[in-house]
Amino acid sequence: MTTEPATPFTYEGGAVQPGETEQFRYPVSETYLGDPVRIPVTVINGSHGGPTVFLSAAIHGDELNGIEVVREVAHEWEHEHIHGTLVCLPVLNVQGFVTQQRYFPVYDRDLNRAFPGKEGSTSTRRVAATIFENFIEPCDYGLDFHTSTRGRTNLFHVRADMGDDEVARLAQAFGSSVIMDGEGSEGMLRTEATKAGIPTITIEMGEAHRFERSFIDDALAGVRSVLAEYGVYPQETVRWPGWRTVISGWDEKTWLRADDGGIVEMRYDHGDLVREDAVICRITNPFKTDVTEVRAPFTGVLVGVLENPVVYPGNPLCHFVKVDERTQQIIESRTDSGEAE
């Protein structure tokens, strides 16, 4: 348990004192009419010193599962004995959320490629800079919640740079069975926060445009586990998911795409192990007279799969990742035992 003294959480224009919780909307931009665009923020500053952790969601405006995770942590959990500070940011891309679009609607740009942002630059980079300077840089660790884009769904998993010891500690503490190892792209929140000395992971879960209770509950358990690991919730325990695999070698992954238009009959679900040359799905015409089989190019795991079962040529069908023999054995033993994820 930390013996550090509690300190105020400060941002441009305000401060949250130890033992206080504040909810406010912070201006990050303006509309065409000159009205402020403001992100919702809840800061819970404990009476006891400890780490400062941010929880963020809806960098992509149509990704909703993470919003409910952050809201429940902020407004339904008991924080009386918290050691440290939680910075809860449920909707970073307000413009995208309002229009239910993935990207920043001003010039259709990806807010998750704009960090750490830049003052005097594009609208997206200006918003990113305001968020980063005020609510990311003051933190010690970060959890960034995502889903797949519309029409697809993702396996519940963590994405993290496992070559960074502090990021690896954070990823393992979250307690997911699957960790996808990779540095992330330039401009991603987790990438740029980690570069700035704030170890951060991405949590992927489910699909856009909906709340999925099972994923939300798993993520809430992961948050509790992280807060236990760092002593923010000293009364909690670190979670062990029952089994774990770290998937490295991101060169051995692919989005399998349709070569023909038609109706998709998917044979597997996300999280399933698929053997090389097995038929992952079939694409058929309305009469089922023309059939195209899509086979696994190697033995791997489906991390993301199509939800909308109609495709044009070139549309993605599934996100497929190669796994080694040890991982294959772990997944098969889990399947044989009937163990749930």
Which residue is listed with tokens 């807010």? Answer: 111
Task: Give 3-state DSSP helix, strand, coil % of the chain, rounded to 5.
Answer: 25, 35, 45
**Cα-trace Rg, the chain:** 21
Distance CA 247, CA 181 (A): 6
The SS3 call for residue 101 is: coil
Distance CA 101, CA 253 (A): 27
Q: Exposed, middle or buried: residue 36 (CB in 10 Å: 0-12, 13-18, 19+)?
A: exposed
The SS3 call for residue 196 is: coil
- pLDDT exceeds cutoff 60 at 1: no
Q: Where are the domains of the chain?
A: 9-246, 251-337
**Matching CATH number, 251-337, of 2.40.10.120, 3.40.50.150, 2.40.50.100, 1.10.10.10:** 2.40.50.100
For 176-234, how does the pLDDT look when each residue is reduced to its tens digit (9 = 90+)?
988 999 999 999 999 999 999 999 999 999 999 999 999 999 999 999 999 999 999 99
CA atoms within 13 A on the CB side of 109: 16
Distance CA 193, CA 67 (A): 20
Return the CATH fold of 9-246. Aminopeptidase (3.40.630)
For 92-144, how does the pLDDT look when each residue is reduced to its tens digit (9 = 90+)?
999 999 999 999 887 779 999 999 999 999 999 999 999 999 999 999 999 99
Q: How much is the pTM?
A: 0.89
Residue-averaged pLDDT of the chain: 92
